[in-house]
Amino acid sequence: MEFDTIAAISTPMGEGAIAIVRLSGEEAIVIADRLFKGKAGKSLSEVATHTIHYGNIVDPDLDQVVEEVMVSLMRGPKTFTREDIVEINCHGGLVSVNRVLQLVLAKGARLAEPGEFTKRAFLNGRIDLSQAEAVMDLIRAKTDRAMTVAIDQMEGRLSKLIQKLRQELLETLAHIEVNIDYPEYDDVEEMTHSVLIEKALFVHGVINKLLQTSNQGKILREGLSTVIIGRPNVGKSSLLNSLVHENKAIVTDVPGTTRDVIEEYVNVRGVPLRLVDTAGIRETEDIVERIGVERSREVLKKADLILLVLNNNEELTDQDKQLFEAVKGMDTIVIINKTDLPRKIDIERVKQLTGNQHLVTTSILEEEGIDTIEESISSMFFAGSLEASDLTYVSNSRHIALLNQAKKTINDAITGIEMSVPIDLVQIDLTRTWELLGEIIGDAVHESLINQLFSQFCLGK
């Protein structure tokens, strides 16, 4: 498969020590050679692969030095894209790196689309689709745990397991075909229902084990949508600032100070939280605050975790009770704040309203109780044996959806076997399971889906 030569800036825009312009394709070395003047006097076409060279980028039309650079040269197929790759290391300024990129484009390269380097790695067979998706997961990882899951997937941990399952299914399907097409062959083992159920149960067990990790895996990948709610002036913004360890939200004694939704990512004991501080939910005549309250109600519906804050120094109100009703059935940690002030709240009544939910007392002003909140969050979502390091985590929503479909089709196959349905009919469900697993690694996937997935990547990756 041959492609044209693409180029893009592969480092974040802005001032920095180094910026990199990356080229990939059959003409990558030729195009770079038109611009690079090495101090050693050699052209890039003459140097060894996987070497780096010092020199200048020169505008050949003006005979003018544009940048002092280090150029890395890597010949395919031992590269990320399996094509020739050149990386021009420039000084990290906006003007210099853009000027180098414009020269590269003027001399024959095309500006890469978002994710096109990784897309070529997939299309050229260096990585499968699940590994390609893990590249972006690694870039976006918010915690060490999320990074570890992404690295495992990049290295093919999930791919190898899926390929093993597909091979098991393929051998079973081939065995069925032989039994159906050549029944007269005595030396071929008959594919009985008892043999088939053993194979199907094995595949079902592995799929089920993968899905057991999916809740935690998805949290690690996307973050736990955590909403802080409560009446105005109970300490919601102070709690956000304490968890973030930064003054992100304005804190005053005036109720209604927070008038909109404030969102921030925070790492709590390895769990990435997409932490949302909401406007205090109450009836108000203030138009701006009322809009904030409505947004708070919308955010609440989509939350994975609720931090419901109460005031230790005030009695429970009807508004508090309405909030308990609003979060009924949701994962909630009830936080009684301001324990540095005299207690007026009815703790026993709070416990009745809380039910089986976590209850924590804090004085955010005195920085007491934050560790307990963090421990409660961690234990709610990452407790038990699922944290074992030898597990293959599934974190991608697309993979989870396909695994759920595969679980259904293999269940249908098992049901058919148990009901002694003819084996050639059971074969249909087994084949569909094989196809669904193939979509995870990109073995059977539409081009439109591939384009959509890679369009979500950053430019230059």
pLDDT over 80 at 71, yes or no: yes
Q: Identify which has the larger pLDDT, 321 or 222.
A: 321
What angle separates helix 447-455 from helix 129-140, to the nearest 10 degrees? 20
What is the C-alpha to C-alpha distance for residues 403 and 405, in angstroms, rounded to an integer?
5
Query: What's the pLDDT score for residue 347?
Result: 86
pLDDT over 50 at 390, yes or no: no
Query: What's the pLDDT score for residue 384?
Result: 47
Q: In this prediction, what percent of the chain has a pLDDT beyond 90?
A: 32
Nearest residue to 124 via CA among 81, 66, 181, 61: 81
Angle, CA 110 vertex, CA 104 and CA 112 arms, to 5°? 110
Q: Identify which has the larger pLDDT, 328 or 160.
A: 160
User: Per mean pLDDT, which range of 89-93, 137-141, 453-457 is the poorest?
Assistant: 453-457
Query: What's the pLDDT score for residue 140?
Result: 75
Angle, CA 459 vertex, CA 271 and CA 127 arms, to 5°? 70
* CATH number of the 6-112 domain: 3.30.1360.120
pLDDT over 50 at 292, yes or no: yes
Query: What's the pLDDT score for residue 206?
Result: 93
Nearest residue to 137 via CA among 389, 386, 394: 394
Mean pLDDT of the chain: 82
> Residue ranges of the alpha helices (H) in 223-331?
236-244, 287-301, 318-326
Query: What's the pLDDT score for residue 391?
Result: 55
19 band by pLDDT with thresholds 50, 70 and 90? very high
Q: Report the CATH fold assignment for 135-213+392-455.
A: Four Helix Bundle (Hemerythrin (Met), subunit A) (1.20.120)
Query: What pTM was computed for the model?
Result: 0.69
Query: For the segment 338-387, what is each residue's pLDDT rounded down to a tens digit?
Result: 999 999 898 888 888 887 678 899 988 888 888 888 888 888 877 644 44
Tell me the mean pLDDT in the region 253-258.
38
What is the residue extent of each domain of the chain? 6-112, 135-213+392-455, 225-385
User: Per mean pLDDT, which range of 43-57, 242-256, 326-340, 360-374 is the poorest?
Assistant: 242-256
* CATH number of the 225-385 domain: 3.40.50.300
pLDDT over 80 at 143, yes or no: no
Provide the β-strand partners of residue 405.
none
Query: What's the pLDDT score for residue 295?
Result: 65
Q: In this prediction, what percent of the chain has a pLDDT beyond 70?
A: 84
Nearest residue to 293 via CA among 284, 302, 303: 284
Query: What's the pLDDT score for residue 110?
Result: 94
What is the C-alpha to C-alpha distance for residues 222 and 396, in angstroms, rounded to an integer?
9
Nearest residue to 370 via CA among 226, 216, 241: 241
The phi, psi pair for 397, rounded to 5°, reads: -60, -40
pLDDT over 80 at 216, yes or no: no
State the residue for tokens 């955590």: 226
What is the C-alpha to C-alpha distance for residues 358 and 339, in angstroms, rounded to an integer?
17
What is the C-alpha to C-alpha distance for residues 193 and 407, in angstroms, rounded to an integer?
19
Query: What's the pLDDT score for residue 259?
Result: 37
